[in-house]
Chains A and B, each alone.
Chain A
Amino acid sequence: MTLTKAELANLLFDKVGLNKREAKEMVEAFFDEVRTALEKGDSVKLSGFGNFQLRDKPQRPGRNPKTGEEMPITARRVVTFHASHKLKAMVEDHHDVAGTHSE
């Protein structure tokens, strides 16, 4: 049911005509390039799909949920994804209002 790299590779085999090995490698390379750009601190803008951005979060107070002990959550950089208007609109249009799942 879930879309995975294996299914994407099959699509590249069917639709682009790459051989199985190339198709698998291309899917890996696709996500590797996005990861590498983000790792370098570069945001990634894929029109029609969405943007991956980086946010620098300052240290903030936190708690160990198990022990209740207070400990700071260290400053860190995190990835955020913002779906494009097109993707959001397509998802909204396909799923009926008021929570009814149209599948």
Chain B
Amino acid sequence: MTKSELIARLAERHPHLVAADAELAVKTILDAMVISLVEGRRIEIRGFGSFSLNYRPPRLGRNPKTGEKVEVAGKYVPHFKAGKELRDRVDYSD
């Protein structure tokens, strides 16, 4: 499912709204989630999961072309942990 398919499904579910509202709603939700993570704020969606930042410490890497050692700076990366309801619904084995 792509973003445009998600917008179409939400528009279908909300026939009383104009289609542009579903699009703006999806954009608003995703923008808020991006801004939240960029600011280092956790996102917690009950029944779905949580997003947070994980720290990757600095390390000594190698330039794969030259084999030369390079210092790779520490950084933060986005991380998602599925909530129990999502985990259970996705897992067919039980």
Binding site for B on A (CB under 8 A): 1-5, 7-8, 11-12, 15-18, 22, 25-27, 29-31, 33-35, 37-39, 42-50, 52, 54, 74-81, 83, 87-88, 90-92, 94-95, 97-99, 101, 103
Contacts and interface: CB of A to CB of B under 8 A. Distances in A.
Given A30-B29, A91-B37, 6 more contacts: A3-B42, A12-B25, A16-B21, A37-B1, A50-B78, A90-B38
A68 to B, nearest CB: 25
Contacts of A38: 86, 89-90
Contacts of B57: 99
A26 to B, nearest CB: 5
Given A5-B45, A30-B25, A43-B1, A11 B17 contact: no
A38 B6 CA distance: 12
Residue from B25, B26, B44, B79 having most chain A Cβ neighbours under 10 A: B25
Interface in B1-42: 1-3, 6, 9-10, 13-14, 17, 21-22, 24-26, 28-30, 32-34, 36-42
Contacts of B91: 76-78
Contact of B90 (A11, A79, A95): A79
Interface in B34-88: 34, 36-49, 51, 53, 55, 57-58, 73-80, 82, 85-87
Interface residues of B, number: 56
Q: Which 9 A-B pairs have the closest CB atoms?
A: A81-B80, A97-B73, A83-B78, A3-B36, A37-B1, A3-B43, A31-B48, A39-B89, A99-B74
B14 A26 contact: yes
A48 B80 CA distance: 16
Contacts of B6: 30, 33-34, 37, 44, 46
Given A22-B14, A77-B91, A45 B2 contact: yes
A16 B75 CA distance: 34
